[in-house]
């Protein structure tokens, strides 16, 4: 893979690129789901491809291909250069990147059990057992369970000398019990809502979650909700459970601090942000008790935002976002950091896949 990436880099620089990087990615995923004792979904897929990103005449060019023969690699690099030259004709200013020391690195998600070493038959058997436990509770009328695995392996090389190979392993699982009674529907989820718990771990997460052991309790709680008192009305102090608090922070803090949104680069795709540049280190986000960081480092935990390096070869970092209630930082890339005068990227530029331009700080 490194030979192919080097081939593409050489082709791009010989054609006039002042900067180039190549990502080759192999992505395997498995998604399984059951519904009331039947298989609702079962898929196991894999994709492999490459992309070339270049700067020519001060403008970006990007191209990708699922073909990895030398001729296709050269053609992809040439297409990226051609697109950059066309973009340069309408650029408003030259692309500038903040400096980043090129590194050679290997990084893999710490995990004990490769999730793809467990057969689909075993996965489905566990989901069916969960399903049976949920529906064994009188009053549960619908049970849904799911299990998901993903392995993303990526080789990143740049004309500045970066040479990074990283593998990210993700496991997720969860289930829902519904209770229909009259005109009312009640629902309980485990271990969290929105599809369950997902972490950068191997199959060991499935054992840690104790899915079968908690199934009957979740079913009983769904049914019990029909007899629960209505929430009182009024003004009260509340305590938010961690998954709900995480969602609140994701929406009210996470998206608005994406610097590409702030600068209008994402306006036609994901919207803009109220955290405009003049509010940095000025806006009071909350009380002095509020502190939030954007931390993608492994030592911060196995969350889905954990990685070794972002998709332009910048190491994961910890960026203070809210410090003692004050808004203090953005999610940035090498380009957006340059646009607001930062001396280094926050290492948060990521692509949706090997065939997508890495254009979102997240």
The verdict on residue 264 lying in a domain is yes
The verdict on residue 333 lying in a domain is yes
Q: Average pLDDT, whole number, for the chain?
A: 95
How many angstroms separate the CA atoms of 22 and 157, rounded? 5
How many angstroms separate the CA atoms of 346 and 126, rounded? 41
Q: 260 is in which domain, residue-wise? A: 240-362
Q: Report pLDDT for 26.
A: 97
How many angstroms separate the CA atoms of 95 and 59, rounded? 6
pLDDT exceeds 90 at position 216: yes
Rg (the chain; Cα; Å): 24
The verdict on residue 145 lying in a domain is no
The verdict on residue 332 lying in a domain is yes
Tokens representing residue 181 in the block: 């009674």
Query: Sorting pLDDT into bands at 50, 70 and 90, what band is 121?
Result: very high
Burial-class residue 279 by CB neighbours within 10 Å (0-12, 13-18, 19+): middle
Report the interhelical angle of 2-14 vs 70-88 (nearest 10°): 40
The verdict on residue 289 lying in a domain is yes
Q: Report pLDDT for 120.
A: 96
Number of domains in the chain: 1
Query: Sorting pLDDT into bands at 50, 70 and 90, what band is 361?
Result: low
Tokens representing residue 176 in the block: 């829902």
Alpha helices in 250-350 (DSSP H): 259-262, 334-339
The verdict on residue 182 lying in a domain is no
How many angstroms separate the CA atoms of 211 and 133, rounded? 10
Beta carbons of 319 and 294 less than 8 angstroms apart: yes
- For residue 103, the SS3 value is coil
How many angstroms separate the CA atoms of 281 and 324, rounded? 11
Q: Report pLDDT for 243.
A: 80
pLDDT exceeds 90 at position 292: yes
The verdict on residue 351 lying in a domain is yes
The verdict on residue 98 lying in a domain is no
Beta carbons of 310 and 350 less than 8 angstroms apart: yes
Of 221, 172, 160, the C-alpha closest to 18 is: 160
């Amino acid at each position: 893979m490194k030979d192919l990436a080097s081939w593409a880099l050489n082709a791009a620089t010989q054609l006039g690129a002042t900067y180039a990087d190549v990502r080759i990615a192999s992505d395997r995923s498995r998604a399984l789901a059951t519904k009331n004792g039947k298989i609702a979904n079962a898929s196991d897929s894999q994709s492999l491809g490459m992309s070339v990103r270049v700067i020519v005449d001060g403008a970006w060019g990007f191209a990708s291909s699922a073909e990895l023969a030398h001729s296709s690699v050269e053609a992809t690099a040439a297409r990226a250069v051609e697109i950059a030259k066309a973009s340069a004709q309408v650029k408003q200013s030259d692309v500038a990147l903040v400096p980043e020391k090129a590194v050679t690195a290997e990084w893999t998600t710490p995990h004990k059990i490769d999730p793809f070493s467990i057969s689909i038959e075993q996965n489905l058997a566990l989901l069916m057992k969960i399903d049976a436990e949920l529906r064994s509770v009188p009053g549960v009328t619908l049970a849904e369970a799911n299990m998901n695995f993903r392995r993303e392996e990526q080789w990143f090389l740049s004309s500045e000398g970066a040479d990074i190979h990283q593998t990210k392993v993700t496991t997720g699982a969860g289930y829902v019990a519904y209770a229909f009674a009259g005109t009312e529907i009640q629902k309980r989820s485990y271990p969290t809502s929105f599809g369950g718990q997902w972490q950068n771990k191997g199959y060991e997460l499935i054992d840690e979650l104790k899915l079968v052991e908690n199934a009957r309790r979740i079913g009983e709680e769904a049914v019990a909700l029909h007899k629960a008192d209505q929430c009182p009305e009024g003004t009260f102090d509340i305590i938010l459970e961690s998954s709900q608090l995480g969602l609140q922070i994701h929406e009210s803090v996470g998206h608005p601090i994406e610097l590409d949104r702030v600068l209008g680069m994402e306006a036609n795709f994901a919207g803009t942000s109220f955290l405009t540049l003049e509010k940095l280190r000025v806006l009071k986000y909350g009380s002095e008790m509020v502190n939030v960081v954007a931390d993608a480092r492994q030592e911060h935990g196995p969350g889905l935002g954990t990685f070794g390096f972002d998709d332009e070869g910048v190491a994961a970092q910890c960026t203070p976002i809210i410090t003692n209630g004050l808004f203090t930082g953005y999610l940035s890339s090498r380009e957006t950091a340059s646009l607001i005068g930062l001396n280094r990227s926050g290492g948060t530029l990521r692509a949706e896949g090997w065939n997508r331009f890495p254009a979102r700080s997240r």
